[in-house]
Structure 1
Amino acid sequence: MPRISAPTVAEHRAAQMRVLLDAARSLLAETGRPPTFAALAERAGLARPSLYQYFRSADDLLLAMVEDVFPRWSATVARAMDAAPDDRDRVVAYVRANLELVAQGEHALATALATIGPTNAVMEGSRAMHDELVRPLGDALQALGARDAARSAELVNAVVNSASRMIEFGTPLDDVWSSVEELVAPFLDRLADERGDAQGLR
């Protein structure tokens, strides 16, 4: 039995998988191409045959990367929204967290995976991530009193997508964020004011 560096075999395997996925992510970000087993083994500091204990093939590795990238994105945005004090700020947190992830290179990584990964797996992962992201955004907009929360959520996402492209083309995050706030904040403030009026708070 090989020597392990964790209290249990399962914990050791999970830790090694994390090392391999992080190494694969960094290689993909650097090259824009699927990482080869040879390059991955060198980056992770493992013997190449050891990789077959975790991934049966190159497609299996790509599928594992897809399953790792998309949920992590959703979880990061969800944490930001959960930390916001009210529904208005939940929407702001949604937009800001997405743009920060783009600035960190996560969107480019997801795009690269969508280009090179297994088609069905990537499509399913993308759809699942989109649904996970839009659902709490729609809930926050509905709570604010948006007349059509689903449509408003898609429009907010359109702003996020356009802002994301600006960041990827080199515009600093802070500059993009200033423009995004100018567009989104008045809409959210109006919803918050109208909700306050409807509840007799103003």
Structure 2
Amino acid sequence: MPKIQASTVAEHRAAQRAALLDAARGLLSRNPAEQPPSLAEVARRAGLARSSTYSYFKSREDLLDAVIADTFPRWSAYVTEQMDRHADAGRRVLAYVDANLHLVARGDHALVRALAAAGRPDTLATSSKLLHDELRTPLEAALRAHGAPDPVRMAEVIQSVVFALTRMIEDGTPERKARRLAHELLEPYLGG
């Protein structure tokens, strides 16, 4: 029996599972157009035996579903954490934009595209809707606090800006330049 690397078996299993999810994320992010990695590739990258991977995931599809379920809450938590650093509503909106663009530049959006190509469409669609709903709530609240007469529609406009800048980053625009463009556009409205 392998030696556990934590103070309890439960902690050890959680760490092993997290290592497998991180390995899968890394492999998926490196080239979203490639086939999803096999369980053997994920195990190798995580430094585990292939056979131990089956203790955590029944199949590659099961692993991909777990990556989806694990990734989207991380995205939402990061954006919310960045927004919560600011008391001013306008700064909160800009933090929302900056955080999303940072995650795109870091490769998290490439991971989402890879999951879209490889994962189960129903799992991805459900998780994606939940993510967007979770992200829309604090954005709309910040816009409402800023005094937007229609925070729901303004949130859609902000999301359109994020989407356009996401495509630019994925086409090679540096994150810093994309953020500068966002600020140049939004700061006059947000009181800069």
Q: Tell me how large the CA RMSD over aligned residues is.
A: 1.2
- 2:87 is matched with 85
Counterpart residue number, 1:195: none
Q: 1:180 Cα shift? A: 1.1
* 142, 149, 152: which one aligns with 1:150: 152
**Corresponding residue for residue 46 of structure 1:** 48
The equivalent residue for 1:114 is: 116
Name which one, 1 or 2, has greater alpha-carbon Rg.
Answer: 1
* From 124, 127, 133, the counterpart of 1:125: 127
Amino acid aligned to 2:164: S
Alignment-derived partner of residue 17 in structure 2: 17
Size of the aligned set, in residue pairs, is 190
**Which segments of 5 or more consecutive residues in structure 1 lack a partner in the other structure?**
191-202
Percent identical among aligned pairs is 52
Please show how residues 47-196 of structure 1 align to structure 2 within 5 Å. 47-189=49-191
Which range is displaced more, 25-34 or 119-128? 25-34
Q: Post-superposition shift, 1:38?
A: 1.5
Deviates more, 1:180-189 or 1:57-66: 180-189
Letter in 1 for 2:133: D
Residue 118 of structure 1, CA deviation? 0.7
Deviation per CA, 1:65-118: give whole Å up to 9, x if none.
001111111010010001112111110100000001111111111111122111
Q: Which has the higher contact order (CA 8 A, sep 6+)?
A: 2
For the residue of structure 1 that corresponds to 2:54, the secondary structure is helix
Tell me which moved more, 29-38 or 76-85.
Answer: 29-38
Q: Which runs of 4+ in 1 moved over 6 A?
A: none
Q: Which moved more, 1:121-130 or 1:168-177?
A: 168-177
Q: Return the TM-score normalized by structure 2.
A: 0.95
